[in-house]
Amino acid sequence: MPAEFSTIQAAVAAVGRGEVVIVVDAEDRENEGDFICAAEKATPEVINFMLHGLGDFCMAVLPDTCQRLDLKPLVDSNTTRLETAFLTPLDHISTQTGITAQERAQTVQAIIDPSTGPGDFVRPGHVHLLLAKEGGVLRRAGHTEAAVDLARMAGLAPGGVLCEILNDTGNRASRDQLLALAAEHNLEIISIEELIAHRRLSEKLVTRTASASLPTQYGDFRVIVFDVKYEDQEPIALVRGTPSESKQAPLVRMHSSCFTGDLIQSLRCDCGDQLRMALDTIGQEGCGVLVYLPQEGRGIGLREKIKAYDLQDAGFDTVEANHALGFKADMRDYGIGIQILKDLGLSQVRLLTNNPKKAEAFNLRGFDLRVVDQVPILPPANEHNAQYLATKRDKLGHQMPENSD
């Protein structure tokens, strides 16, 4: 049984060859694995194999296909928990009943064919259609979007077929069972989480939308606002000097927003202290970048962070509080920040951080941006954040002040 998942590149290559891959979503979402194949490559043999997943056999399509074939939502009001966008199920007009693997393959090939129209199909049918969001997994972290993304990334028509995988008892297959299934059939297996991370690194998603000089108490900076394609956020870069022309790797701070620490100087965390120390360090050196990313509360958002604070008041530590709310200890992603640094022309950085895993994330994700040095930022602890700092040190591997016990 494989010890770990496949790379995204391996899965895309397999899809391009017409092979089936297994895609799993987050454990706090559906916690489900699906067989997925590009619609363009969905032969009767492939579909027959996928039906062994025992779940619903579906086809994911984009809005232009819906318009071409006059597909409608299956219900007027979608009340499913994850808003899975079921559409009119179809059979091709040439099929007998539409239920066989051969007939489903005929229907799938006709749906993906841009020359077909509404009159080429009967409805309802046996191929269940799902509407994928434009932008794919960057807008919705579902198997529907993953199926379309993988086909598109493989250079094929943007449509995919998928079937949920159940185990012998009729329940969702576990991660271990999915890994064993992948090994048994020599299939690539990936997670939607990693597919999102890959796209955030491999596709050009950031665009400069505004820029101006910004004198500060730490020196003169240039502030640049970015737009992120498919995402509702506006990250900021504060640039001191001309870091792209620096003889040595410039100082860089990748800072996640913290309303309580950054704006009102809360004593519950060290975020505001790190922000100010990073700006001061960059200001004194005369060259560097601070990227400000809107991912509050290690990625869980301001409301959930405040809920976590309440749990911490009841005796939880910061990691336990996140877990109690159904989140991972750290939900942050630095793909957009890395794209911003690349847009600024950087290839090497000295990273201002206490988190060794952040430096590893830069170097291990296959992007042309290397951390040549990790420069700690160690603000003093206080009575309100001592346990918080100790938890980051002991459970998250951060470098923390010695008096944070």
Which positions are catalytic? 330, 332
Query: What token pair was written down for 165?
Result: 């995988």
CB atoms within 10 A of CB 283: 21
CA proximity to 404, closest of 396, 359, 384: 384
Q: How many helices (H) and strands (E) does the chain have?
A: 14, 14
Across 6-53, where does the E strand assignment appear?
21-24, 33-38
Across 301-369, where does the E strand assignment appear?
348-352
C-alpha span between 46 and 65 (Å, rounded): 22
Q: How far is CA 321 from the centre of its chain?
A: 22
DSSP assignment of 387-404, as one string?
Answer: HHHHHHHHHH-----TT-
Are 375 and 389 in contact by the 8 Å Cβ rule? The answer is no
C-alpha span between 200 and 258 (Å, rounded): 22
Query: What token pair was written down for 17?
Result: 């060859």
Query: What token pair was written down for 297?
Result: 């509360």
